């Protein structure tokens, strides 16, 4: 279930599933669209274990600063509500899955 992250649902969303991917994106970013498709496919594959949240970096510059987002797409991985790792740029499903496994091992 992809949700748009807001101040009101931030903590609830980060604890919505064992794994939460927070996708920092931009409207006019080609690699962001590629990454969005890959993340949506992974969310469908791991429905019970993975939640996907989206943040438009331009709409939330305070969050982009707080999480040191320097470019989009950037995905932050939260495991059991705690920040674990980040992945920047567009990647294949296989690379994303390997990144998740390494970050949560």
Q: What is the pLDDT of residues 47-82, one digit of tens each?
A: 888 999 999 999 999 999 999 999 999 999 999 999
The two tokens of residue 83 are 């920040």
The two tokens of residue 12 are 């609830």
The two tokens of residue 40 are 């949506």
Distance, in Å, from the CA atom of 70 to the CA atom of 88, rounded to the nearest integer, reads: 9
Domains, the chain, in order of start with CATH, read: 2-104 (3.40.30.10)
Judge whether 32 counts as a catalytic residue.
yes
Q: What is the largest CA-CA distance in the chain?
A: 34
Judge whether 29 counts as a catalytic residue.
yes
Q: What is the pLDDT of residues 14-31, one digit of tens each?
A: 888 899 999 999 999 999
Which residue of the set 3, 29, 34, 103 is catalytic? 29
């Amino acid at each position: 279930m992809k949700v748009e992250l807001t101040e009101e649902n931030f903590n609830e969303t980060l604890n919505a599933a064992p794994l939460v991917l927070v996708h920092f994106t931009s409207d006019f970013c080609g690699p962001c669209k590629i990454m969005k498709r890959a993340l949506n496919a992974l969310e469908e594959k791991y429905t019970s274990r993975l939640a996907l949240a989206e943040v438009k970096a331009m709409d939330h510059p305070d969050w982009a600063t707080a999480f040191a987002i320097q470019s989009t797409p950037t995905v932050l991985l939260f495991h059991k509500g705690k920040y674990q790792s980040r992945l920047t740029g567009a990647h294949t499903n296989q690379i994303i899955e390997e990144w998740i496994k390494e970050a949560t091992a």
